[in-house]
Amino acid sequence: MKPSGQKIYLASKSPRRRELLRQIGVDFELLMLREDSVRGPDVSEIPHPDEPSEQYVERVTREKAVCARQIMLWRRLPVRPVLTADTTVTIDGRILGKPADVTEAVSMLQLLSGRTHQVLTSVAIHHDDQTWQTTQRSDVTFAKIPDRIIESYCTLQEPYDKAGGYAVQGQAAIFIQNIAGSYSGIMGLPLFETAQLLQQAGIRIL
Ligand SMILES: Cc1cn([C@H]2C[C@H](O)[C@@H](COP(=O)(O)OP(=O)(O)OP(=O)(O)O)O2)c(=O)[nH]c1=O
Q: Where are the domains of the chain?
A: 8-200
Which residue is closest in CA terms to ligand 1's atom 18? 14
Q: Is the CB of 188 under 6 A from ligand 1?
A: yes
- Cβ-proximal residues to 58 (8 Å cutoff; 6+ apart), any chain: 122, 133, 135
- Cβ-proximal residues to 161 (8 Å cutoff; 6+ apart), any chain: 98
Helix runs in the chain, H state only? 15-23, 53-74, 102-112, 147-153, 183-187, 191-200
Q: What is the pTM of this model?
A: 0.94
Q: Is the CB of 7 under 6 A from ligand 1?
A: no
For domain 8-200, say whether CATH 3.90.950.10 is its number.
yes
Instruction: List the chain pLDDT tens, one digit each, 206 residues.
Output: 444 458 999 999 999 999 999 999 999 999 987 664 444 446 778 899 999 999 999 999 999 999 999 999 999 999 999 999 999 999 999 999 999 999 999 999 999 999 999 999 999 999 988 999 999 999 999 999 999 999 999 999 999 999 999 999 999 999 999 999 999 999 999 999 999 999 999 999 88
Q: Is the CB of 13 under 6 A from ligand 1?
A: yes
Catalytic residue among 27, 42, 86, 92: 86
